[in-house]
Each structure stands twice: as C-alpha cells, then as structure tokens.
Chain A
C-alpha cells in the first residue's frame, strides 16, 4: 500500500483519463466493429460458458447467440463498405432484440476460428465480465467485456507514467506529458474500447518496461525480478505477440545481473516467467485438449498472434522481413505493392479504425510523424550534448529497449511472412506496434524536455492539447462512420 501511496497524483489522473477515454470508445464503436472482434468475443463467451478454450479443430465457431448479433448489426455488409451502416431504425432494433430474446444457443462446437491456439489470459478477464453482467443479453455482455480493455488501458498508462519517472527522474512534468500522449493516442483509445487481446499485451508490455527501467535505475532485486517475470508471463498468456519482447527482457536481465553481480534475482525472474507458462502448458494438454506449446500455422494464429508457421524459403523470408520495414534494395524482388513501413505500420498506427476501413486523411500521418521525428532528434541531440558519461553509463538500458523493440518488429515481420504465405492476405496493422507505446512516450517526454526549462513545459502543454484534438477527431470520425 505504501508503494501505491508513493505514486504521484498526476499518475492516477492520467490513468483516469485513459480509462474514461476507453469507456467512451467502448460505447461509440458499434458492437463487433473492430479488428477481429467477432472471434475474440467468441473466445470470451466460449470460455465463460464452458470453462474451456476453443481448439484447432473443424466445426462451428461463433455461437448462435453471437451470430444473431453479427447478422442483426449487418456486420459484413458494413465492414469495408463505405456506404454500409449498422442499423439505424427502431424496426431493426426491435428485430434484433426479438431474435436475441428467443435465447439462441451460447455454445458452439468450439472450433478454431483463428484463435484456437490463443492463450486464455485476456479472455479469462473478458469471461469474468461476461459472467458478471446482470443481463443475459449478448449485447449487454459484449459491452461489459469491452470494459476489460478500458481498465487495461488505465494500467498501461499508469505503468507508462512510472516508466517515464524512472527514465527521466528529474523532470516530473515530462512524465505527465508522455503518459497523456499515450492515453490520448487515438488507436490506443480505440483499442481500449473494444474486446481484443492486444490490450492485454499492451498493459503487460508497459509493466515490463517500467519494471526493467526501475531495475536499471535501482538495481535488480528479487521482488523486481519476480515482477518482471510475472508481467512478461502475463503478456504471453494474453497473446503470443508478447514473445517478441522476451529476448530483450532476457538480455536486460542478464545485463543487470552482470552489472550488479547478482545472479539469483535473474534466476528467480526466469522462474517467475517459466512457472506460469509451464502450468499453462500442462493445462493446455490436460484440460483444453490442445498442444502444450501453442504455436500453429501462420493462418491459425494470425492477427498478430505471434505464431510460428511454415518457414518457406529462407531468402524469401529475409527479403520479406527487410521490406516490411525498409526500402527495397535493387537486388531484391518486390514483396509488397506499397511501402509497408509507411502505408501499413505508420498510417495504421496514426489512426486506422474499425476493421481498418476508415481513418485520418493521409496528411495527418505526415504531421504526426514529422513531430515525432523532431522530438526524437531533439532528445538525441540533448543526450549527445548533455551529460555524455551519464548517458553512456546507461548503455545497457538503451540496448535492452532497442532489443525489445527489434524483437517485436522481427516477430511481427516473421509472422507477417508466414501469415501472408499461408493465407495470401496482408498482415501488417498499426495496432501490433502498441506494446511499444512506452518508447513513444519516452520520445515525446525526452523531446519536450530537450527544449529546455522554459520552452519545454510550454511545448509539452501545447502537445497535450494537440493530443486532445487528435483523440477527439478520431471519435468524431468514428461517430460519423457509423451514424451519419
């Protein structure tokens, strides 16, 4: 409790902003109108009703209950259709209510639906919300399940604030700017209002970034090491994409242990990471009737699942991974019809919503990335001209964060390769970058700090006001996409 009392009031207020924002998004976005929400809701409902997870088998996926909603909201007439809208009339509303009142079945055959190998951590929280809903209407239960993401968004922002406190301990005002930049980031807001395990990974990743930064700052004690291990395990149990961060986390642990000449905490952290995953492997086999190690084909656990699929041609894979983030070199065959770094990752991260079928005009991405590049340049320049020995002394920390980022990007690119190879569909979406939000917050915070004691806070305050506008604009786009 005393540790909680030491958390600054500003951190709680930033958390409140994130949670409230998530609650608003959860109602503004019509049911199921977000990336793959159909199958995530299916998983949550199936887990709640049967205490079991979907499996990689053939058979029915969505329950009749959920299918009634899918058709009632005209989901597949609206997705990707600029002149498609969910129902607007009381006639259709009454029709859907009447169909749900007939009590359609809530349990399907539990087939994969693309999530048959996904871990159950995030869905377990969703199933609790499902079961806690006083009404048995699927629409009410889906609304409750979405609130899990809003709460996780609050945790993510809280940990981001605390991460910045470790990173820039002498500039408390920058913690607020960075945390609010995350809380008001439109894609983060959108995802915090829908039911999607990405939010489990985001919250866990933010916790890991914070705990690692604390360990670099104050030494890797036993509680911190165990915390890092548990947070990393929680992330993996939410979604396998978390695996991308693990090499960096491991490297950080080793560097810390070597620096502090204390290896026992590292072993304890590794155990804290391994034990929950080991138990999960046992439960997978004994209760869920799934493989112990939940890795499947690229198509099986697509959507950023972090799955390992068929390897294919090694050179082809390297070329894909390269071009996923970097310009094509002359000797490479073209793997993409566009430039994925910009057209998919950045534009998607700046703001593509729904099932990726609407978002900001392209110039917004130019402005946002322009600002971020300037802030990054300012931060780097300040580090180079400032206290160089102090910056150099933290090299382990920088290497750890960069390895975490590179690990996630590498896993995403590899998953993209196997997924595209297996399904022929594009994979890259900006939301998969959300676990790196603490680094985005760090760029914002360090960038405004680099402007100096006088101009920095002014720029930081103006930036937060801009983020309010950015976030509000995304909400307006969403309201108009579905109700105007």
Chain B
C-alpha cells in the first residue's frame, strides 16, 4: 500500500478524533465558578423545619447558585431557602442575595439558585440555608476544627461541602478562556493567561511532528542491505 493509504488511514483516525473533540467542546451544561473543596464525607447537620445553618466561605465571582450535597431522611424533601450575605463591615447596608429551591428533590447534589448573581469574588461571605418545609433533611460535609459554621447560631466544628455554580449553561469551548485564567492561579510566575494557548500549540506542534514522521515518503521502506 502506498503513502496515499497511510494518509487516508491517519486522516480517518484524525477525523474521528476531531469529531469527538468538537462534540466535547460543544457540550453545554451548567458550570462551576468554584468549590470550597470540603470532602462530602457524611451528614454534618440534620436540618429540622425552620432550622438555619450558616457557613462562612470564600465566594467566587460569577456565582449564581450554591450547590450542596443532600442526604434524604424524610419524604417529601422540604423546600430550602438560601441567603448569601457580605460582611457588614465590608458592605454596610448591602442587601443579601436570596434564592430558593422547591421540595421533592432527591439524594445527592442539589443546586439552589439565587439573585443577584455575585459578580466578583468575596474573600468572606456568609451562606445561610433554612429549611422551609415540614420534613427534616441532612446536608453533607465533614468534621473539621475551625470557625464559621453554625446551626441556629450555635457554632460547631464542621463544614458543609459547598460548590458554586455559574449562571446558565455554557459549552466547554465557551469556558476555554476561563480555564486559561484558572490555570494561572497558584502556579509559577511565568504562567499567564496566554500560557494555556501556548501549551495547546506546543502539543499540536509535537503531534504534527509525530504525524509528519509517519507520513514521510521514506516511512515504510525496509532496509534490504
């Protein structure tokens, strides 16, 4: 078989890869603005009707919903209300962001949207969740020494797992510039926003070298000497 066959075979593989990559890049779904990275180890609070759990946290910008991990203990699960407040000293008189989710949700991740969207990162925000129904529900997190977590005003050595969601849904392709920015955080000093694109170019360049090697006109020739 000739070089043409090799080009066709490599082209076919690369075409399949390109289709898969394109489909992946175009996949649209809700995306995260951040995580508090607390391990969802076990339920840390059993919220009875009207109970209020509050937690201090860094709140990333572009956040439109709080995501908690729910452990269902009674059906139907109750509606939950969320309030996100900046410290009074930082923003005196500012009204909190509020949101709500209806009851009837299941076990696992639960997103509670709120308005207005938090536009910029806040080093300290207070996230409070109140049980507005008639059944108990448990929220998951882990035990940890520290401050900032309270149930009905009583501090406890625990933390909730909190994930932060961006508004709406976005494609992976639409997130690329955000990914590039995130890749600069807590990295070596030379890593800037453009580095991600440079890395992509280097990988593509290296791949092009590899492909060129196997498509060369001498490739496939046996040494009969």
Report yes or no: B121 in contact with A180, Cβ–Cβ below 8 A: no
Within the complex, the shortest CB–CB distance from B178 to chain A, in Å, comes to 8
- Which of B5, B123, B210, B219 meets A184, CB within 8 Å? B210
Report yes or no: A455 in contact with B191, Cβ–Cβ below 8 A: no
| A residues 439-484 touching B (CB-CB < 8 Å) | 453-462, 464-469, 471-472, 475-476, 479, 483-484
- Which of A28, A461, A471 meets B6, CB within 8 Å? A461
Residue of A24, A31, A169, A460 with most chain B CB atoms under a 10 A cut-off: A24
**When chains A and B are docked, how far (Å) is the Cα of A139 from the Cα of B188?**
5
Contact with A along B212-225 (1 / 0, CB 8 A): 01110011111110
**When chains A and B are docked, how far (Å) is the Cα of A59 from the Cα of B127?**
40
Asked if A176 CB lies within 8 Å of chain B CBs, one says yes
Report yes or no: A458 in contact with B6, Cβ–Cβ below 8 A: yes
In the complex formed, the residue of B with least CB distance to A85 is: B35
With a CB–CB cut-off of 8 A, which chain A residues contact B213? 10, 13-14, 176, 180, 464
**When chains A and B are docked, how far (Å) is the Cα of A284 from the Cα of B6?**
55
Within the complex, the shortest CB–CB distance from B159 to chain A, in Å, comes to 10
**When chains A and B are docked, how far (Å) is the Cα of A27 from the Cα of B13?**
28
Report yes or no: A483 in contact with B214, Cβ–Cβ below 8 A: no
With a CB–CB cut-off of 8 A, which chain A residues contact B39? 77, 81, 84
Report yes or no: A464 in contact with B60, Cβ–Cβ below 8 A: no
Report yes or no: B37 in contact with A17, Cβ–Cβ below 8 A: no
Asked if A143 CB lies within 8 Å of chain B CBs, one says yes
Please report whether the interface of chain B is mostly helix, strand, loop or mixed according to DSSP.
Answer: mixed
Contact with A along B42-68 (1 / 0, CB 8 A): 000000000000000010110000000
Asked if B186 CB lies within 8 Å of chain A CBs, one says yes
Within the complex, the shortest CB–CB distance from B145 to chain A, in Å, comes to 14
Report yes or no: B185 in contact with A83, Cβ–Cβ below 8 A: no
- Which of A73, A92, A169, A468 meets B210, CB within 8 Å? A468
Residue of A96, A176, A455, A484 with most chain B CB atoms under a 10 A cut-off: A484
**When chains A and B are docked, how far (Å) is the Cα of A462 from the Cα of B214?**
9
Asked if A87 CB lies within 8 Å of chain B CBs, one says yes
- Which of B121, B161, B186, B188 meets A73, CB within 8 Å? B186
Residue of A135, A143, A464 with most chain B CB atoms under a 10 A cut-off: A464
Report yes or no: B13 in contact with A466, Cβ–Cβ below 8 A: yes
**When chains A and B are docked, how far (Å) is the Cα of A365 from the Cα of B102?**
42
Report yes or no: B6 in contact with A83, Cβ–Cβ below 8 A: no
Contact with B along A48-88 (1 / 0, CB 8 A): 00000000000000000000010011100110010111111
In the complex formed, the residue of B with least CB distance to A14 is: B213
Report yes or no: B223 in contact with A172, Cβ–Cβ below 8 A: yes
Asked if A93 CB lies within 8 Å of chain B CBs, one says yes
Report yes or no: B221 in contact with A172, Cβ–Cβ below 8 A: yes
With a CB–CB cut-off of 8 A, which chain B residues contact A475? 203
Q: Which residues of A contact B (CB under 8 A)?
A: 10, 13-14, 16-17, 20-21, 23-24, 27-28, 30-31, 69, 72-74, 77-78, 81, 83-93, 96, 135, 137, 139-140, 142-143, 169-173, 176-177, 180, 183-184, 453-462, 464-469, 471-472, 475-476, 479, 483-484
Q: List 23 A-B contacts (CB under 8 A).
A: A20-B202, A27-B188, A27-B195, A28-B199, A30-B186, A77-B38, A77-B39, A85-B35, A89-B60, A90-B185, A91-B121, A139-B187, A139-B189, A143-B188, A457-B6, A457-B214, A458-B1, A458-B6, A460-B214, A460-B219, A468-B210, A469-B20, A472-B21
7 extra A-B contacts, CB within 8 A, seeds A14-B210, A83-B161, A464-B213 = A69-B186, A88-B185, A453-B222, A458-B5, A461-B10, A469-B13, A484-B32
Q: Which residues of B contact A (CB under 8 A)?
A: 1, 5-6, 9-10, 12-14, 16-17, 20-21, 24, 31-35, 37-40, 58, 60-61, 121, 123, 161, 163, 172, 175, 179, 182-191, 195, 199, 202-203, 205-207, 209-211, 213-215, 218-224
